Amino acid sequence: MPVPAPGGIVVRVRAALTDGTDLKAYRRGHPQMPMPSRFGHEFSGDVAAVGTTDARAPHGFAVGDPVMCVHSAPCGACYWCLHGQEELCETVMATKILGAYADYIEVPAHIVARNCYPKPKGLSYAQAAFLEPLACVVHSVEFLAPQPGSTVAVLGDGGFGLLHAQVLRLHGAHALLVGRRAERLELARSLEIDCVDARDELALPAILARTEGRGADAVVECTGSPAVWEEAPSYARRGGTVSLFGGLPPSTDVRFSAARLHYDEVRLIAPFHFGTKAVRRAFELLRDGEVEVEPLITQTYPLERIAQAFADLDAGLGLKFAVVP
Ligand SMILES: [Zn+2]
């Protein structure tokens, strides 16, 4: 068990979720997660130890408190933090924590002070562990700022696609989820999300047919595939916006039609990470039950079977898994 630094806490992990980044790291390593390495970054649990607090950073958490947090926090002092772009904070990536697939994880003072919340009783630990991915989606949708009543095509039926469709709905937009996995589309439909099964019909005519031939008012790319990034503008209407959400490896180059961007005024945006306000909003959405996250967890594995969990994830046997020490 780690010893918390001043202002920090140690969390006894009660649930950690798998996500696409973890799977990529498991498959082929990750620029910031060379394997073998501790990983896992979506978690919640109970406070197991509290670092000495000083008057500068009193946080009020006590041993035994159920908590939920994200794995990063902005510095609050750099140029970007002072200009409302906390997701681009100079140190937010360098000071993030990994290692939630463990019995304990240390959460340092800067995260405790800005991005840590008491877990409401009505929320399970696995639900609470959605704070981080949901914060990404809240930031993404706020960055896009869809008009109420607009049609937003969401490309990808993974966890991020399903979360986007739900958060878009809360903004008054009509989400149209494009996917090709039967069980995921079935899950989406059970959440009353309108779907296009791309195995049955081509995505472009399907989107045009649902938008009086114009194309979607906005498109959100949630697959993290260069080919889908490049095809995403073709689904947008003239004057529409394409949000490239699914991250690609840093060395990736992508190509877009100049005519679509210029003569059709198709805007490209690419929201990354989140700031503290998005974390707070994600916390409120979970607390108030406004986003359904439980159905996104396919299965729960004990920590000892994490190798099996990743082998199963790699084989495409589930959407997200909960790992419980
Ligand atoms: Zn900063």
Q: What is the pLDDT of residues 169-227, one digit of tens each?
A: 999 999 999 999 999 999 999 999 999 999 988 999 999 999 999 999 999 999 999 99
Interval between CA 229 and ligand 1 midpoint (Å):
29
Residue (of 19, 173, 162) closest to 101 by Cα position: 19
pLDDT surpassing 80 at residue 55: no
Interval between CA 94 and ligand 1 midpoint (Å):
11
Give the model's pLDDT for residue 54. Answer: 60
Interval between CA 27 and ligand 1 midpoint (Å):
31
pLDDT surpassing 50 at residue 67: yes
Distance set, CA 100 to CA 70, 86, 241, 243 (Å): 11, 23, 35, 29
Give the model's pLDDT for residue 28. Answer: 77
Classify the C-alpha dihedral 221-224-227-230 as positive or negative. positive
d(CA 247, CA 231): 15
Interval between CA 171 and ligand 1 midpoint (Å):
28
Interval between CA 191 and ligand 1 midpoint (Å):
37
pLDDT surpassing 50 at residue 57: no
Tell me which residue has tokens 């958490």.
61
Interval between CA 88 and ligand 1 midpoint (Å):
7
Contacts of residue 303, defined as CB under 8 A and 6 or more positions apart, other chains included, come to 101, 102, 103, 323, 324, 325
17-38 pLDDT per residue, tens: 999 888 888 887 777 677 788 8
71-128 pLDDT per residue, tens: 999 999 999 999 999 999 999 999 999 999 999 999 999 999 999 999 999 999 999 9
d(CA 183, CA 126): 21
233-285 pLDDT per residue, tens: 999 999 999 999 999 988 999 999 999 999 999 999 999 999 999 999 999 99
Interval between CA 84 and ligand 1 midpoint (Å):
10
Give the model's pLDDT for residue 279. Answer: 98
Tell me the mean pLDDT in the region 146-156: 98
What pTM was estimated for this model as a whole? 0.96
Interval between CA 209 and ligand 1 midpoint (Å):
45
Interval between CA 82 and ligand 1 midpoint (Å):
7
Interval between CA 153 and ligand 1 midpoint (Å):
33
Is the link from the previous residue into 36 a cis peptide, with omega within 30 of 0? yes
